Every structure is written in C-alpha cells, then in structure tokens.
A and B are shown apart, each in its own frame.
Chain A
Amino acid sequence: MSYTALAGLGVLAAVTADLLVFRVRLVRRRAFWVAYAIIVACQLVTNGVLTGFGIVRYDPATIVGLRIAYAPVEDLLFGFALVLWTLDWWVWWGRPSRRGQDGAGGIGASSGSRRIHGR
C-alpha cells in the first residue's frame, strides 16, 4: 500500500480511536488544536531539515508528490496520526478512573496544594 493510502488510513484510524474507542474526543477540544498548531509548526521545521538535507528520502512512486517545506504532504497526515494517537493514550492513562495506578500522580503527597495535581 502506498504511503499516501497508509497515511490517510492512519489519520482515519486515529480519529476513529479518539472518538469511539478512547472516547477522549481530543479532535473536539480546543487545547488539542492549539497544541497541534504549535506541533505542526515545529514539525515543518524539523521535517524540513530531515527531508531538505536528504537524510530521509522518499520513493516518488509511493507519494503524490506535493511537498510542503521539502517534506511530502503525506508526512503531515503521518504526523497528525502520530500526535493524536500519542495524546489519546496520554489522556487515557491520566483519566481519574486510572489515576490510582499512576504512581506519578503524587502518591503520598502530603501538602495540601499537591493534593490537587494528582494526574
């Protein structure tokens, strides 16, 4: 399967998981889109370095050929799927029902103020 098709499927799978499996619904949350806007700007820079200097090279037969800042447009889809999948798991592991297992949430916190952070 071409990179184009896989990237499209990746986005579809990540969004489906976000809405129907995790039910975190990040794609409907402002914090996610603001964060993603920052991330994608950084991605264009770092991806541009990796592709512009030819560190990563793409088979022309597997992409449509449209490039943004040297990188194939498919990389934006790939990146979106990666970021959404990542952040869904991050939120999932921090949900209140799971926080008891998350030792990093501040087990044994003694001060009143630390009580709040537990996640």
Chain B
Amino acid sequence: MRHLSYLGVLAGCLLGTAPLEILLGTRVYARWRRLLRTLVPVLAVFVGWDLYAIARRQWTFDPRGVTGVRLPGGIPLEEVLFFVVVPICAILTLEAVRARRRAWPVGDEPQPPTPTATAAPSSPSPSPPSQAEAEAPSVRAHGKPSDGPT
C-alpha cells in the first residue's frame, strides 16, 4: 500500500476540491476545453523544469512511495499527475472565491454592458436572486460597474 502514497495525496486533493464544483458551481470541469488549454502550457513548462531537476538529481523519489511507473526522462507518473491535479485545485479555488465574491474581478469578465443593455429582454430580473441561482447556480452576476477590469 505504501507505494500508493503519492497517488493517494493527489487523489485526496481531487476529492477534497470536488465539492467546490458541485456546491459552489465553479464550473471548472464543466469548462473542460478551457481547462485542457490551460493544462498544456502548464505541463510543458513545469514537466520540463521537473525533468531538469530529476536529471540533476535535485530531487529524487522514494521508490517505496510511488507506483514505480516512470515516463521518459525518468519522471514518475505521479509527478506528471501532480502538474494536472494541482492546477485543477488552484483553478477550483480561484473560481470558488469568485463564486462567493462576485465583485472581485480577475480579468475574464464580460465587458460591462451599457446601462440600457442591463435591461436585456431575456434577462430575469436580478431582484429575486434565489430564483436565478436555482436555475443556474454558476451564474455570475455581471454588469456591475466593479466587474470591469481594474
């Protein structure tokens, strides 16, 4: 069992953050294309860094703590998965913060609509938030002046 230690830590990270997607509607897994596009450059840079460090023996892995599956360059499978799991957890955390603090922009918000556009015909009235949230838990209130890039 001990050789599953590293995998277990990663699984714990995924399991621990999964409720954010469901309870707070972070929609990170739901936007899987955007997630994949994010993971590619992250993997490219940090697996590269990791391969350098492994080649120079800056860090090593206890064979008893990993499955033993090694990818080209001698990088353990777990180490590659680390650069998938940790970014997912980080994004989930950021989106969870945003779900709770909608007035805190990060830079991908829609452009603030013009004052007349806020009264778009298909838009449900913002006054009963409970209804809007019941329909779409992930809905982000936009159109507030503070939503624009700072």
Interface residues of B (CB under 8 A from A): 5-6, 9, 12-13, 16, 27, 30-35, 37-38, 41-42, 45-46, 49, 52-53, 56-62, 65-66, 83, 86-87, 89-91, 93-94, 96-98, 101, 104-111, 120, 122-124, 132, 135-136, 138-142, 150
Measured CB to CB, the nearest residue on chain A to B90 is A83
Measured CB to CB, the nearest residue on chain B to A112 is B122
Say yes or no: B13 contacts A31, CB within 8 Å.
no
Q: Contacts A3-B53, A87-B94, A115-B122 given; indicate if A29 touches B41 (C-beta within 8 A).
A: no
- Write 13 A-B pairs (CB below 8 A) sorted by A numbering: A29-B106, A34-B104, A54-B62, A56-B61, A57-B61, A58-B59, A83-B87, A87-B91, A89-B42, A91-B106, A102-B34, A117-B138, A119-B31
Residues in B neighbouring A55, C-beta threshold 8 A: 5-6, 9, 61-62, 65-66
Number of A interface residues in the complex (CB < 8 A)? 55
Residues in B neighbouring A35, C-beta threshold 8 A: 90, 93-94, 96-97
Say yes or no: A3 contacts B90, CB within 8 Å.
no
At the interface, yes or no: A73 with Cβ under 8 Å from chain B?
no
At the interface, yes or no: A16 with Cβ under 8 Å from chain B?
no
Q: Contacts A38-B97, A82-B46, A102-B33 given; indicate if A29 touches B89 (C-beta within 8 A).
A: no
Residues in A neighbouring B38, C-beta threshold 8 A: 86, 89-90, 93
Say yes or no: B90 contacts A54, CB within 8 Å.
no
CB distance from B92 to the nearest CB of A (A): 9
Residues in B neighbouring A96, C-beta threshold 8 A: 108-111
CB distance from B54 to the nearest CB of A (A): 11
Say yes or no: A90 contacts B9, CB within 8 Å.
no
At the interface, yes or no: A85 with Cβ under 8 Å from chain B?
yes
Say yes or no: A30 contacts B104, CB within 8 Å.
yes
